[in-house]
Amino acid sequence: MRVSEFDYALPPELIAQHPAPERAASRLLHLDAASGRVEDLAFADLPGLVDARDTLVLNDTRVIRARLAGRKASGGRIELFVERVTGAREALALIRSSRAPRAGAELLVGDSARVSVLGRDGERYRVRFHENVLDLLERHGTVPLPPYISHPPDAGDAERYQTVYAARPGAVAAPTAGLHFDRATLERVAARGARVAHLTLHVGAGTFLPVRVEQVEAHRMHSEHYEIPQETLAAIRGQRVLAVGTTTLRALESWSITGRAAGETDLFVHPGFRFQVVGRLLTNFHLPRSSLLMLVAAFAGLDNIRRAYAHAVAERYRFFSYGDAMLIERAA
């Protein structure tokens, strides 16, 4: 397949720049892949669509304050984007600078905290902090909003670009399907008899990268770390699995392929993929020509997704991370 098959026209004003006033106040487009039928709902209707047959699986990763402003020892300004924490004091990072720093260079960030450049790893740098990475980011970092959100991050983003169940720091992008849940909605889901389980996949910066190849199958995903607790594996056994977000789906389907409940995944889901675990997917609306759009096309069928997205544009749904939600029922 060609990447151009996953393009669509989106009016810029439909790209949500801010979240809905309340988490559960978003809209919900319900797509049944077997029939192609779409239904316009509110996210508050979601609990009524689940029952004791369902297990909702949530990604409990927590977004870190990954962007740090700083300077070289010579005084030149830099921006350091921590893409992945690899140890208590080490990370893989993107560095924006007028001149690429060399191995052995010293950088100063935050309150003049020192960072040593150890070397390159592809587009990223291996760096060592002289204190705990997460502590420093919490004090001096800023929220890494997606590039299509035009305003600088503020205190509201620090709260709303984070799920209410976020627990394990390590992501540089939010698992955005989960942003719609508040505590009351989760309680209503449980009251319907549905189980709620968790896993962790630390979302990397690769989620924002465009697909640069012409042929879909030639695209390669960045690797991300995931962990699925044994209690979650027990909770999905014999149940209808509703994955909250594409990251949750990729972790569960990675486990089904490899048999590993923890590890690294670079699973690229595109049309032709055979799903083994997930039967229902809650997700947001995704960028044209993106790997995430290819994933939902694999799940629902490309023609169904084209029609559903055209409907969403015509009905003025809000798109991307701070936008509205979509519940897809996979055809058997």
User: Where would I find the beta strands (DSSP E) of the chain?
Assistant: 27-32, 37-42, 54-59, 61-63, 67-72, 77-85, 90-97, 106-109, 113-121, 124-129, 168-171, 195-201, 224-227, 240-244, 262-265, 280-284, 325-329
pLDDT of residue 236: 98
pLDDT of residue 327: 98
Does 297 have pLDDT greater than 80?
yes
Which tokens belong to 185?
């909605």
pLDDT of residue 210: 77
Mean pLDDT of 119-144: 95
Going from the C-alpha of 266 to that of each of 226, 253, 283, the distances in angstroms are 10, 11, 19
pLDDT of residue 331: 87
Which pLDDT band holds residue 74 (cuts at 50, 70, 90)? Answer: confident
Nearest to 129 by CA among 179, 178, 183, 70: 70
Please state whether 292 falls in left (phi above 0), alpha (psi between -120 and 50) or beta: alpha
Mean pLDDT of 182-189: 98
Mean pLDDT of 162-185: 97
pLDDT of residue 112: 87
Please state the φ and ψ torsions of residue 198, each to the nearest 5 degrees: -130, 155
pLDDT of residue 111: 84
Q: What is the pLDDT of residues 13-34, one digit of tens each?
A: 999 999 999 999 999 999 999 9
pLDDT of residue 35: 97
Does 323 have pLDDT greater than 80?
yes
Specify the CATH class of 3-63+155-329 in words.
Answer: alpha beta
Does 276 have pLDDT greater than 80?
yes
Residue 125 in contact with residue 93, Cβ under 8 Å? yes
Residue type, 11: P
pLDDT, the chain, mean: 96
pLDDT of residue 110: 87
Which tokens belong to 321?
């991370």
Does 206 have pLDDT greater than 90?
no
Q: What is the pLDDT of residues 75-120, one digit of tens each?
A: 899 999 999 999 999 999 999 999 999 999 999 998 889 999 999 9
Select the CATH number that applies to the domain covering 67-140 from these four: 2.40.10.240, 1.25.40.80, 3.30.1050.10, 3.30.70.20: 2.40.10.240
Taking residue 294's Cβ as centre, other Cβ atoms within 10 Å add up to 25
Q: Cα separation of 215 and 5, whole Å? A: 10
Q: Spell out the domain ranges in the chain.
A: 3-63+155-329, 67-140
Q: Cα separation of 178 and 163, whole Å? A: 6
Q: Indicate the pTM of the whole model.
A: 0.96
Q: Cα separation of 90 and 102, whole Å? A: 17
Nearest to 164 by CA among 183, 145, 177: 183
With a CB cutoff of 8 Å and minimum separation 6, the contacts of 155 are none
Instruction: Please report, rounded to a whole number, the percentage of residues in the chain having pLDDT higher than 70.
Output: 100
